[in-house]
Amino acid sequence: MSNIDFAKLSVSACADALAKKEYSAVELVKAIAENVRKNDGEIRAFLKFDEESALAAAKESDARRAAGKILSPYDGIVIGVKDNIAVTGETISCASKILAPVKSPYDATAIAKLKNQGFIPFGRLNMDEFAMGSSCENSAFFPTKNPLDTSRVPGGSSGGSAAAVAAKFLPSALGSDTGGSIRQPASFCGTVGLKPTYGRVSRYGLVAFASSLDQIGPLSPNVEDAAVILDAISGHDPMDCTSLDQTGTNAAAAVRAGRDASLKGVKIGLPKEYYAASGLDSGVAKVFDEAIENLKKLGAEIVEVSLPHTEYAVAVYYIVATAEASANLARFDGIRYGDRKEAKDLVDTYFKSRGAGFGAEVKRRILLGTYVLSSGYYDAYYLRAQKVRTLIKRDFEEAFTKCDLLLTPVAPNLPFHFGEKSDPLQMYLSDIFTIALNLAGNCGVSLPGGVDPTTGLPVGIQLIAPNLGEEKLLTAAAIYEKQAFAFAPKAFGC
Ligand code: GLN
C-alpha cells in the first residue's frame, strides 16, 4: 500500500503531503478506496462510492500539479458527501427508498465550490432518511455503527459522515444540520462539526428537509480542516434566495494566526438553563465542568447568561421543521420525483409510491407537519411556534450583549446503544442543546471536549457565536483544541 499515514488523515496533512510529493492524488484516491473496502464492512459509513470517477478527477489534479497549475493547496484531496447533497452523476437517495434510483443532474453549489478548489467528492455517506433522526437508525438501507464502539450509534442524521471521519476513512466530509445533525454525530464520534450561520453556505443542491433551518457544513478531524472547508463552501449564491449577501469566510487564516494565542479578553457565557438541565449524563456533566475550567485556564472570563425560551425549543422545532418537511417532501410522489409504484389511478399512485417509499419516521413527520398546517390548527400551532421562535432568537441576541461566545453541551447523553431510544419523543429530546441554534440561525461548533471516564467514549462541547461569527468561533475552538485538553479519537483498524 501507499505511504499514507491513515492515523493522521486530515485535509491539512493531505495538502502537505501532496505539496511535498509524498504521494499523488491518484495514489490518495486508490489508498482511500482500498481502505474503505477493507474496513467499512462493519461500520458501514458508506452507502456507496464510485472509485472510477474519483480516479478520473485525481488524474486531472495530478496533471495540474505537474504543470504547476493547482487550483488551490487542496487540489486532489478527497472529501466525503452526505447522501442528501447533489454531485453530478451520483445517486442522491437521502437514505430513502423513494429516491434510491435517482441520480443528480447537477452539482450543489457547495460541491461546485469544492471542485473549483480541486477537492474530489468521494462516496455517498449514510444518514437518517431525509435527515430525520439522531442515530442513523432511520436509514432505509442499514444503520451505520460508531467506529469507537460498534455496539453504539454514531449519532445522526449525518452519522455516515461522522463515522467516516472518525474511522479515518476520509480527511473530512460534508454533512447537513437542521437541528443538530452535524454537531451531535461529531460529538458521538469524537470529531469536529460546524453548523454555519443560516445563509452562510448555499442550500442549492441540498435536498430540503426544513428550508428555514437547513445548513451544509463540515465534519473534520480538527478545527483547521473545518475552517478550510467552510472557506471553500461559503459565500453568496444567487441560486439560493436565503443566501446571505456576504463574500464568504477567511476562517483558516484566522485559525492559523490565532490558535497560539490565549482566550484573554474573551467572555464566554454559560446559559443557566442549559447548565441546570436535568437528565445530563454524569460523564457529559464531568466533561462540561472540565471544559469550563480549561477555558478559564486559557484566560477566558466565564459569565452566566440566560436563554429563557430554551424550554420551548424542542416543541417549536417539531412544529416548524415538520411543517416545512410536509411541504418539501410533497414533491416525492412517484410522478414528479421518486420511485413510482404500479397503481390504478393518480391517487392510488400517490398512496402506493409514498406508502412504499417513505419509512416510519418520515411518515410520522409528514403527518405531524400536515396537521399543524391544516386550517383550524395553523394559528394554534404553526403561527404560535413562529412567534416563540422569534423569542428564542431574541434570547441569543440578548445573551450576546453580555458575552462573545456561549458554551453548552452538545447532547445530554453519550452515544447510545442501537434500539435504546425506541420512543420517538425520547429521541427528539436528545436534541435539546442543538436545535435552538438552528431556530435562531447563528453558528455553532461541536468539538471534542473530553472522554466519559466510565466508557472512554467521546463527549463534545458546543461553542456558539453570533451571526456570521465563524472566524471568531473557530479561532476560539482551535485555541481550546491546541491545548490538548481535547480527546483524540483513536485510529480505527488501519
Ligand atoms: N435530530 C433532529 C431531527 O431528527 C435533527 C436532524 C437534522 O439536523 N437534520 O430532526
Question: Tell me: the pLDDT tens digits for 7-23?
Answer: 999 999 999 999 999 99
CA of 88 to the centre of ligand 1 (A): 26
Rounded Cα distance, 461 and 479, in Å = 14
Residue recorded with cell 442543538 = 434
- Do 76 and 120 contact (CB within 8 A), yes or no? yes
Q: Which helix (H) or strand (E) holds 216?
A: strand 215-220
- Banded model confidence at residue 278, pLDDT cuts 50, 70, 90: low
462 within ligand 1 shell (Cβ under 6 A): no
Give the Cα-Cα-Cα angle 173, 423, 451 (nearest 5 degrees): 45
pLDDT of 485: 55
Residue 308 pLDDT > 70, yes or no? yes
Q: Which amino acid is at 447?
A: L
CA of 123 to the centre of ligand 1 (A): 22
37 grid coordinates? 473496502
Residue 490 pLDDT > 50, yes or no? no
Could you list the beta-strand ranges (E) of 34-77.
46-48
User: Tens digit of pLDDT for each residue in 316-340?
Assistant: 999 999 999 999 999 999 999 999 9
157 preceded by a cis bond (ω within 30 of 0): yes
Rounded Cα distance, 474 and 392, in Å = 23
> Which sign, positive or negative, has the C-alpha torsion 118, 121, 122, 126?
positive
Rounded Cα distance, 63 and 68, in Å = 9
Could you list the beta-strand ranges (E) of 16-113.
46-48, 78-82
- Comparing C-alpha atoms, which of 14, 227, 181 is closest to residue 85? 181
> Could you tell me the CATH superfamily of domain 6-258?
Amidase signature (AS) domain (3.90.1300.10)
- Comparing C-alpha atoms, which of 26, 30, 22, 25 is closest to residue 5? 22
Cβ count within 10 A of residue 91? 17
User: Tens digit of pLDDT for each residue in 99-118?
Assistant: 999 999 999 999 999 999 99
Q: Which helix (H) or strand (E) holds 296?
A: helix 282-297
- Do 271 and 306 contact (CB within 8 A), yes or no? yes
**In angstroms, what CA-CA distances link 251 with 17, 120, 165, 218, 256?**
22, 21, 21, 13, 9
Choosing from 178, 219, 438 the residue with most ligand 1 atoms within 8 A of its CB, the one to mutate for a pocket test is: 178
CA of 348 to the centre of ligand 1 (A): 30
467 within ligand 1 shell (Cβ under 6 A): no
131 within ligand 1 shell (Cβ under 6 A): yes
Q: Residue range 385-395: average pLDDT?
A: 98
Residue nearest atom 5 in ligand 1 by C-alpha distance: 179
Q: Residue range 437-460: average pLDDT?
A: 96
Q: Which residues pair with 13 in a beta bridge?
A: none
336 grid coordinates? 414528479
Cβ count within 10 A of residue 336? 8
**In angstroms, what CA-CA distances link 140 with 62, 125, 128, 369, 378?**
38, 13, 8, 21, 31
Give the phi and the psi of residue 197 in degrees, each rounded to 5.
-55, 140
CA of 70 to the centre of ligand 1 (A): 37
pLDDT of 2: 67
Cβ count within 10 A of residue 272? 14
Q: pTM for the whole thing? A: 0.97
Residues with a catalytic annotation lie at 82, 157, 181
Show the DSSP H helices in 159-222 as ranges.
159-166, 183-189
Residue recorded with cell 442543546 = 433
pLDDT of 388: 98
- Do 283 and 459 contact (CB within 8 A), yes or no? yes
Cβ count within 10 A of residue 22? 16
Q: Residue range 192-199: average pLDDT?
A: 98
pLDDT of 492: 38
134 within ligand 1 shell (Cβ under 6 A): yes
Residue recorded with cell 461522522 = 162
- Provide the CA 114 distance to its chain's centre, in angstroms: 16
User: Tens digit of pLDDT for each residue in 69-90?
Assistant: 999 999 999 999 999 999 999 9
- Banded model confidence at residue 277, pLDDT cuts 50, 70, 90: low
User: Tens digit of pLDDT for each residue in 197-215?
Assistant: 999 999 999 999 999 999 9
Residue 404 pLDDT > 90, yes or no? yes
181 within ligand 1 shell (Cβ under 6 A): yes
pLDDT of 274: 84
* Ligand 1 atom nearest to CA at 365: 10
- Provide the CA 106 distance to its chain's centre, in angstroms: 22
- Banded model confidence at residue 451, pLDDT cuts 50, 70, 90: very high
